[in-house]
Amino acid sequence: MLEIIGKVHKIIGPVVQARGIVNAKMLDLVEVGEDHLVGEIVKLEGEHAAIQVYEDTTGLAPGSSVYSSGLPLSVELGPGLLGTIYDGIQRPLEVIRDSSNSVYIQKGIHVPPLGREKKWDFKPGIEKGAKVEGGEIIGRLQETAFIEHRVLVPPDVKGTVAWVAKEGSYTIDETVMRVAAASGAETEVKLFQRWPVRKARPSRGRLPLRLPLITGQRVIDTLFPQAKGGTVVVPGGFGTGKTMIQHALAKWCDADIIVYIGCGERGNEMTDVLMSFPELIDPRTKRPLMERTIMIANTSNMPVAAREASIYTGITLAEYYRDQGYHVAIMADSTSRWAEALRELSGRMEEMPADEGFPAYLPTRLAEFYERAGMFETLCGSEGSISIAGAVSPPGGDFSEPVTQHTKRFVRCLWALDRQLANARHYPAISWLDSYSEYVDEIADWWQERSGGEWMDLRHRIMDLLQQEGKLQQVVKLVGPDVLPDTQRIILETCEMFKNAFLQQNSYDKVDMYCTPEKQIKMLRVILDFYKLGLENIKKGANIHQLRKLEVHSDIMRMKFSVSNDEIGKIDTIREKLHKSMQQVAEMYE
């Protein structure tokens, strides 16, 4: 299988220059040296090649052989992906741990991504003689308790079914179908297939976005919604809450499948997910969250070239489930570390740097990645989507740097994390003044239906108050709030309430960590009623202190914790109490 295609000439960290190269293609997967370190050809020039090596090159010496399989860097796609944690080039970390019997990741380990022993109960859904094309469903099997795995014809296969396996248990290596092409040549189809990570999997085409990706995070769903098939960027300085948001999405968003890419971040954060997800229950399926999750972990201290690949590995796995007709959500934490890997590799290859040392092709690469998101009509004729949330870690928390700026060009939703908010422990620290979502209009119908047609109006009213408050705060900073008339102080008061009682959401609180859309709507109504009735009362002569002292004020402030998702009727009670209390205040001035 592997042939020697050249010799190592020079080693510069993760980049290896090879000479005497024959018979190699750009992006071919190669193995380098005695340890058979995995790498990829990223540059070809005559008989010289640059190879980015996915493992630590310590000890590698010039003159070592370079081997190639002639194939590009690919992933294995089949049952067994869900619930697994991989490194950036799809090596299963748990298998590595158990087979090497070490807590460390040694070099030169080769294990297949998908287990070869496990048998799956395959139910064929097609008959001999049928015409099939790439992407078609030929059978099904239960991958996890809730996720049905749809076995697909590989995209490049087409023809007549010459033979199909009977219903039964098969390993992924066994052939379950043979397809005869027009020429008569037969292709064996198995329960798994391979696909090169740097190439998007085909679909029939894009569909318009119309569904929100519900996250259970109020500031997101209500103010800056993400769409199924949409893209969002989350920039923020260190400790402002990017990872917490990504984790919240992975836990609670209403996608069918989650692909979580830990790209150049902390080991403990991956451990956290690994420990908590098997225990957390998906509110919709009532099954452990791990059963719908695939994790890619290439932590900051793992080889930098594999970090570069991890993003592509992740999105290719996502596309495979999309092709089966699922809604997939990807979290990439952090795309800055990916861009830095790109920069490091580019620097080692002595390419001309552009902005801040990043290669000139950074924007192209970013665009290619985010363009793989969307709502699609799949080759099997159903609807599937990929939504991407990418975290960005700007140096010094300064959003004017290249990765933030370029990413903003390719995504349509921005959750800007604010250092001041994070320092004040206002979490999620998503700034309501700097963030935006271009999806509001596209997904509005969904919300209108659930709110008796009120959602757009509620949302506009609160956004408007927040804008007004922003301006009033400028004044307050100079002269204090006391000089403002109460008709304006009620705006400050309502926004203060909205920030505390609605926007802030504690990910560690059992009740508050997830908030249903219905609860969000009810909470928002109460807060806006407080404003409306309060303003009326002030106009009648009441003052702001009276309103703050109302007992119901406290009830509203605590409703996010005190009312759980399955007893939201209690918010109606609070609302009634609000109306009554306000009525009593009004009566004092009538």
Partner 1 sequence: MRNGDGMKENKLMEGREYIGISQVTGPLVFVKGIHNVGFNELAEVVDSSGHVRLGMVLEASDGAAVIQIFEGTSGLSIPDTRVRFRGEPLMFGVGSEILGRVFNGIGQPIDGGPPPMIEEMMDVNGLPINPTAREYPRKCIQTGISAIDGMNALVRGQKLPIFSGTGLPHNKIVAQITRQAKIVGEDVQFAIVFAAMGIKHDVSRYFVSNFEASGVLEKVVFILNLADDPSVERMVTPRVALTAAEYLAFHENMHVLVILTDMTNYCESLREISTVREEIPSRKGYPGYLYSDLSSIYERAGMVKGFSGSITQMPILTMPNDDISHPVPDLSGYITEGQIVLERELDQRNIYPPIAGLPSLSRLMKDGIGEGMTRGDHAHIASQLFAAYSHVKDVRALAAVIGEEELTPLDKVYLDFGNRFEREFLSQGEYEDRSIFQTLDIGWKVISYLPKEELHRISEEELNKYYGK
Subset of 53-72 contacting partner 1 (CB under 8 A)? 56-63
Question: Does 241 interact with ligand ATP (rule: CB under 6 A)?
Answer: yes
Question: Does 382 interact with ligand ATP (rule: CB under 6 A)?
Answer: no
One residue of 130, 280, 444, 476 binding partner 1 per CB under 8 A = 476
465 contacts: CB under 8 Å, gap ≥ 6: 491, 494, 495, 498, 531
Question: Does 202 interact with ligand ATP (rule: CB under 6 A)?
Answer: no
Opening angle at CA 78, ends 155 and 95, nearest 5: 140
Is 109 or 162 the residue whose CB approaches partner 1 more closely? 109
Is 243 or 387 the residue whose CB approaches Mg ion more closely? 243
CB-based contact 345:308 (threshold 8 Å): yes
3-state secondary structure 134-167: CCCEEEEEECCCCCEEEEECCCCCCEEEEEECCC
Q: Which two tokens stand for residue 217?
A: 């995070």
How far does Cα 388 stand from its chain's mean position?
5
Question: Does 244 interact with ligand ATP (rule: CB under 6 A)?
Answer: yes
Cα–Cα distance between 559 and 517 in angstroms, integer? 15
Question: Does 106 interact with partner 1 (rule: CB under 8 A)?
Answer: yes
CB-based contact 401:343 (threshold 8 Å): no
Cα–Cα distance between 110 and 586 in angstroms, integer? 76
One residue of 9, 48, 198, 532 binding partner 1 per CB under 8 A = 9
Closest approach, Cβ 271 to partner 1, in A, equals: 4
Question: Does 240 interact with Mg ion (rule: CB under 5 A)?
Answer: no
- Which residue is associated with the tokens 């909205």? 498
Cα–Cα distance between 179 and 158 in angstroms, integer? 7
Closest listed residue to residue 531, CA positions, set 512, 553, 515 = 553
Closest approach, Cβ 242 to Mg ion, in A, equals: 5
Residue ranges in 560-579 that form contacts with partner 1 under rule CB under 8 A: 561
Q: Which two tokens stand for residue 72?
A: 């590009």
Q: Which stretch binds partner 1 (CB under 8 A): 23-31, 155-163, 199-207, 234-242?
A: 234-242
499 exposed, middle or buried (CB, 10 Å; 0-12, 13-18, 19+)? middle
Question: Does 299 interact with Mg ion (rule: CB under 5 A)?
Answer: no
Closest listed residue to residue 258, CA positions, set 301, 216, 204, 213 = 213
Residue ranges in 393-432 that form contacts with partner 1 under rule CB under 8 A: 393, 395-398, 423-425
Is 402 or 428 the residue whose CB approaches ligand ATP more closely? 428
Closest approach, Cβ 395 to partner 1, in A, equals: 6
- Which residue is associated with the tokens 């995209």? 155
Question: Does 243 interact with ligand ATP (rule: CB under 6 A)?
Answer: yes
Q: Which stretch binds partner 1 (CB under 8 A): 173-181, 409-417, 473-481, 581-589?
A: 473-481
Closest approach, Cβ 509 to ligand ATP, in A, equals: 8
Question: Does 48 interact with partner 1 (rule: CB under 8 A)?
Answer: no
Question: Does 236 interact with ligand ATP (rule: CB under 6 A)?
Answer: yes
Question: Does 253 interact with partner 1 (rule: CB under 8 A)?
Answer: no
Cα–Cα distance between 328 and 131 in angstroms, integer? 29
Q: Which does 267 bind (CB under 5 to 8 A by kind): partner 1, ligand ATP, Mg ion, none?
A: partner 1
Q: Which does 543 bind (CB under 5 to 8 A by kind): ligand ATP, Mg ion, partner 1, none?
A: none
Question: Does 264 interact with partner 1 (rule: CB under 8 A)?
Answer: yes
- Which DSSP letter does residue 63 get? T
Residue ranges in 484-523 that form contacts with ligand ATP under rule CB under 6 A: 505-508
3-state secondary structure of 182: coil
- State the DSSP string of 256-297: SEEEEEEES--HHHHHHHHHHTTTSB-TTT-SBGGGGEEEEE
Closest approach, Cβ 344 to partner 1, in A, equals: 5
One residue of 114, 211, 302, 465 binding partner 1 per CB under 8 A = 302
One residue of 427, 447, 498, 530 binding ligand ATP per CB under 6 A = 427
- State the DSSP string of 389-414: EEEE--GGG-TTSHHHHHHHHH-SEE
Distances in whole angstroms, Cα of residue 412 to Cα of each of 14, 28, 233: 34, 34, 8
Sign of the torsion angle spanned by Cα atoms 103, 108, 111, 112: positive
Closest approach, Cβ 237 to partner 1, in A, equals: 8
Q: What are phi and psi of 578, to 5 degrees?
A: -60, -50
Residue ranges in 243-272 that form contacts with Mg ion under rule CB under 5 A: 243
Q: Kindly write out the interface string for residues 349-388 of this chain, putting x where it contacts partner 1 by CB under 8 A and - elsewhere.
A: ----x--xx-------------------------------
* Number of residues located near ligand ATP, criterion CB under 6 A: 16
Neighbours of 506 (CB within 10 A): 14
Closest approach, Cβ 390 to partner 1, in A, equals: 16
Question: Does 478 interact with partner 1 (rule: CB under 8 A)?
Answer: yes
Return the amino acid letter for 529: D
Is 514 or 530 the residue whose CB approaches ligand ATP more closely? 514
Closest listed residue to residue 552, CA positions, set 590, 584, 520 = 584
Closest listed residue to residue 177, CA positions, set 195, 163, 197 = 163
* Number of residues located near Mg ion, criterion CB under 5 A: 2
Is 243 or 324 the residue whose CB approaches Mg ion more closely? 243
Is 274 or 586 the residue whose CB approaches partner 1 more closely? 274
Q: Which does 163 bind (CB under 5 to 8 A by kind): Mg ion, ligand ATP, partner 1, none?
A: none
Closest approach, Cβ 246 to ligand ATP, in A, equals: 7
Helix axes 455-479, 440-450, angle to 10 degrees: 110
One residue of 314, 428, 517, 534 binding ligand ATP per CB under 6 A = 428
Q: Which does 505 bind (CB under 5 to 8 A by kind): ligand ATP, Mg ion, partner 1, none?
A: ligand ATP
Q: What are phi and psi of 386, to 5 degrees?
A: -130, 120
Cα–Cα distance between 237 and 366 in angstroms, integer? 20
Q: Kindly write out the interface string for residues 248-287 of this chain, putting x where it contacts ligand ATP by CB under 6 A and - elsewhere.
A: -----------------x----------------------
Q: Which stretch binds partner 1 (CB under 8 A): 131-139, 278-286, 438-446, 550-558?
A: 550-558
- Binding residues (CB under 6 A) for ligand ATP: these are 236, 238-244, 265, 393, 427-428, 505-508
